[in-house]
């Protein structure tokens, strides 16, 4: 004889329904928790991206050296950290390594150049007999490895907000600079290169 089972009572049915509702609610809460976490992550990533974008536009820039015009100080493919706000508070000084917009024209025009400030507003620059003179005084340039091999340059006096820049590579024809495109206006100087950050083995200040 088969055992007899009593039909489920109303209380049993209510308990079963409540258990089902609780399970469904837990599933919904779990889905909501996952979606909330994903949304929070996306917001964090978006905010971080915007902050980095603003910093890159207004505060600093990361630039790569292209070409040999700054050898031996900088080598091609090295990465530079560029301070973009320093010149809001102080003007460029002689000796600064700067990133500037290429003021030249023609097929070899580049978006940006890396050069060294040689002279500042009001000074006079001259190249005579392979020697660099500023206000008539010969300049000591320990960052170069040769005397200037290009032609002489007649005296050039800088006007307001004008700067004379050159590459550290003084071998003949190796640097397109103020000898080629003239004086540089302050508004075209993007910032000051502070240090090399890549490759890691060559990290150093400038």
The catalytic residues are: 69, 115
Is residue 127 a contact partner of residue 119, using CB atoms and an 8 Å limit?
A: no
Query: Cα dihedral sign for 103, 107, 110, 114?
Result: negative
CA–CA dist 196, 204 (Å, integer): 5
25's enclosing H/E stretch is: helix 10-58
Is residue 191 a contact partner of residue 61, using CB atoms and an 8 Å limit?
A: yes
DSSP 30-94: HHHHHHHHHHHHHHHHHHHHHHHHHHHHHTEEEEE--SSTTTTTS-TT-EEEEESSHHHHS---T
């Amino acid at each position: 004889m088969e055992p007899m089972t009593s039909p489920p009572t109303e209380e049993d049915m209510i308990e079963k329904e409540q258990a089902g509702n609780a399970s469904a609610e837990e599933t919904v809460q779990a889905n909501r928790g996952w979606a909330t976490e994903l949304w929070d992550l996306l917001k964090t990533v978006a905010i971080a991206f915007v902050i980095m974008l603003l910093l890159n536009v207004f505060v600093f820039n990361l630039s790569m050296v292209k070409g040999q015009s700054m050898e031996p100080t900088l080598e091609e493919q090295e990465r530079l950290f560029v301070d973009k706000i320093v010149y809001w508070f102080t003007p460029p000084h002689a000796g600064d390594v700067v990133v500037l917009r290429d003021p030249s024209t023609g097929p070899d025009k580049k978006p940006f150049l890396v050069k060294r400030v040689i002279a500042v507003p009001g000074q006079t620059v001259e190249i005579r007999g392979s020697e660099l003179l500023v206000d008539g005084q010969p300049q000591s340039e320990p960052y170069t490895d040769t005397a200037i091999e290009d032609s002489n340059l007649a005296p050039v006096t800088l006007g307001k907000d004008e700067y004379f820049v050159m590459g550290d590579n003084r071998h003949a024809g190796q640097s397109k600079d103020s000898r080629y495109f003239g004086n540089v206006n302050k508004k075209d100087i993007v910032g000051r290169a502070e240090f090399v950050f890549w490759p890691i083995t060559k990290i150093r200040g400038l």
